[in-house]
Amino acid sequence: MKYPSKQKAVKSIKRTLLRFTGRRITKAVQRIYQILYKIFIEIKYIIYSLRPQFFLRFLRRTQRNTSQKVLRWHIDVDIRNFRELKKYFDEAGVRYAAGKHTVYIPPRTGRIPALNKITGFYPADAGFKILKTNRSVEDAEYKNEELSRPWGRSQLLGKVTENVGASNYLELKSVGPRIYDLTEFDFNGFVVPVFIVQHINGRAPDSEETKEFKRHLRRVLEEKDVVYAHPQWETHVDFQGDSCHGNLIKSKQNGQLYYVDFQNFILPDSSRVLKRICRESRASSHFGTKHIIRGGSYLYQSVDSVNAYGKRSTKCRERVMSGLFTQADADFDGAYVLDIGCNMGMMLAWGLDQGARWALGWDRPQVVKQAYQLLKIMGYTRFDLYGTDLNNDYKVSQDISGRFQLGNENVIIFYLAVHRHIGFLSDLVSIPWKYMLYEGHQGEELRELDSLKRICRFDIAAYTFYEDGDSKRRPLALVRKR
């Protein structure tokens, strides 16, 4: 056997050591670069978050404008992780899009028997954006728990509950789609948060349409009510190309451009927006005598989260009404609330806080427009409002037929201080309902309810008389239909 010479052996050893140490050095350099890059990104987001509007947001983070009760849907399927969830969808023949942080199921993409009750509850154009995190809505962030995210950016974006107000603002500004709900799917113990979103069916825009959209978005961001979670949003990858990285869609239905990736937008100070809406709503929402001390016309319903005074004290009304429901052993769980004469929607909001599945309200068109904006910025989603001039012959049932499956056991009607203006709707015969929360006008007695006996048979489950805000003594009764 021929052995290599000593010189050749030394050279071979040197080459081997050089390759080995070179690899080690390269890996060390790469590791150092990754660490330095992460530090740079963290510093960038921390500096960005030091802007005054973000700092105030951190201080207010413990103050929630809305407490809309989260619906949890139990799905009788054994799932333990997201791999099994995607496998279940594959076996069911469901078309879905799996992204870095979510699994998205468009509407009408295959029948999933276990999800039938959910798809039947939400509007027909509702898609399911399932977040890849095994947490409740209250604790979840919009991210895949298996992937890292800069700490600074996580602090900027906050919890998924904070995404709702920003996405609702984008809807109001004709930037993004509607959010129908932020709910939870419970797969026999495996709980995931889910955004129920308006699905936009359409095409990618051309370059001119994209430029016009970016000009519109720039104007929206210049108002400084909502901000993007990156310092230079126009150069970010999510806004590259005509389709903005697949996030910009032109709707076939109405031709509007929708930016569907809403989670990177932040509403730093919702109270500022709410106060502006309240100021703009004084004249349209006011009912009754004007007061010089209150500036003439002022809100009918107070908005207590921003200390916006109203003729009626929302907080006081909620307290008294809650007492009647407790006295009658009644609750809102799973109920639909119908508010006839909803004004700014504060009592609808209370119903959603108490656990109502969905809330519907009717009032004058201009009042409804302002109420919709107010409820949206407060973070409410499960409601619909109808602008109309109410009268005794108005058919409420036509507005809700085909959309909601209402039964006698799950409908609560709010008839609050409207009887003197429109009487009792003749359509109350057609609408199935279990309870009516009736509120009279100042100085009235309960005998005003006698005219309701011509329409239906009922019992008074609980009643009281009370005063609130600038309003004098009036009756309040919880009526149970026989």
CATH of the domain at 354: 3.40.50.150
> Whole domain around residue 231: which residue ranges?
32-268
Q: What total number of domains does the chain contain?
A: 2
Backbone angles phi, psi at 184, to 5 degrees: -130, 135
Q: What is the pLDDT of residue 404?
A: 79
Which residue, 221, 250, 268, sits at the end of a domain? 268
Instruction: Name the residue with tokens 């000593």.
Output: 6
Residues 107 and 252 in one domain: yes
423 part of a folded domain: yes
Residues 257 and 389 in one domain: no
5 part of a folded domain: no
On the 0-12 / 13-18 / 19+ scale of CB atoms within 10 A, 280 is middle
Residues 213 and 276 in one domain: no
Which residue, 268, 288, 304, sits at the end of a domain? 268
Cα distance between residue 478 and residue 482, in whole Å: 13
Contact status, residue 355 vs residue 330, Cβ threshold 8 Å: no
| DSSP state for residue 291 in the 8-state scheme | B
Q: Which residues of 167-206 are buried (b: 16+ CB within 10 A; e: fewer)?
A: bbbbbbbebbbbbbbbbbbbbeebbbbbbbbbbbebeebe
Residues 199 and 280 in one domain: no
18 part of a folded domain: no
288 part of a folded domain: yes
Cα distance between residue 280 and residue 319, in whole Å: 27
Which residue, 241, 268, 295, sits at the end of a domain? 268
CA distances (Å), origin 471, targets 143, 224, 292, 311: 48, 37, 16, 6
9 part of a folded domain: no
DSSP E strands in 81-137: the ranges are 97-98, 102-105, 126-131
Cα distance between residue 392 and residue 146, in whole Å: 58
Please name the residue ranges forming H helices in 261-312.
270-285
Contact status, residue 180 vs residue 171, Cβ threshold 8 Å: no
Residues 217 and 362 in one domain: no
The answer for 452, left when phi > 0, alpha when psi is -120 to 50, beta otherwise, is: alpha
456 part of a folded domain: yes
Residues 297 and 242 in one domain: no
Per-residue pLDDT of the chain (482 residues; tens, 9 = 90+): 444 554 565 566 656 655 656 666 666 667 776 777 667 666 766 666 666 666 555 555 544 445 799 999 999 999 999 999 999 988 888 888 988 889 999 987 656 777 888 988 999 999 999 999 999 998 888 765 555 555 656 666 778 888 899 999 999 999 999 999 999 999 999 999 999 999 999 999 999 999 999 999 999 999 999 989 887 888 888 899 999 999 999 999 999 999 999 988 989 889 999 999 999 998 777 654 555 455 556 899 999 989 999 999 999 999 999 999 999 999 999 999 999 999 999 999 999 999 999 999 999 999 999 999 999 999 999 999 999 999 999 999 999 887 777 776 789 999 999 999 999 999 998 888 999 999 999 999 999 899 999 889 999 999 999 999 999 999 999 999 98
Per DSSP, the three-state class of 132 is coil
* CB atoms closer than 10 angstroms to residue 312: 23
Residues 347 and 224 in one domain: no
- Report the helix count and the strand count for the chain, using DSSP H and E: 13, 20
| DSSP state for residue 2 in the 8-state scheme | P
287 part of a folded domain: yes
Residues 306 and 184 in one domain: no
pTM of the model: 0.86
8 part of a folded domain: no
Contact status, residue 165 vs residue 377, Cβ threshold 8 Å: yes
Residues 309 and 426 in one domain: yes
Structure tokens at 337: 């609330």
Q: Walk across the sheet containing 336-340 and list its strands.
A: 383-387, 358-363, 336-340, 411-416, 435-439, 471-481, 458-468
Residues 263 and 411 in one domain: no
Residues 162 and 307 in one domain: no
Residues 87 and 223 in one domain: yes
- Dihedral in degrees, nearest 10, Cα atoms 99, 104, 109, 113: 120
CA distances (Å), origin 73, targets 70, 103, 115, 192: 10, 17, 9, 10
Contact status, residue 429 vs residue 453, Cβ threshold 8 Å: no
Q: What is the pLDDT of residue 62?
A: 45
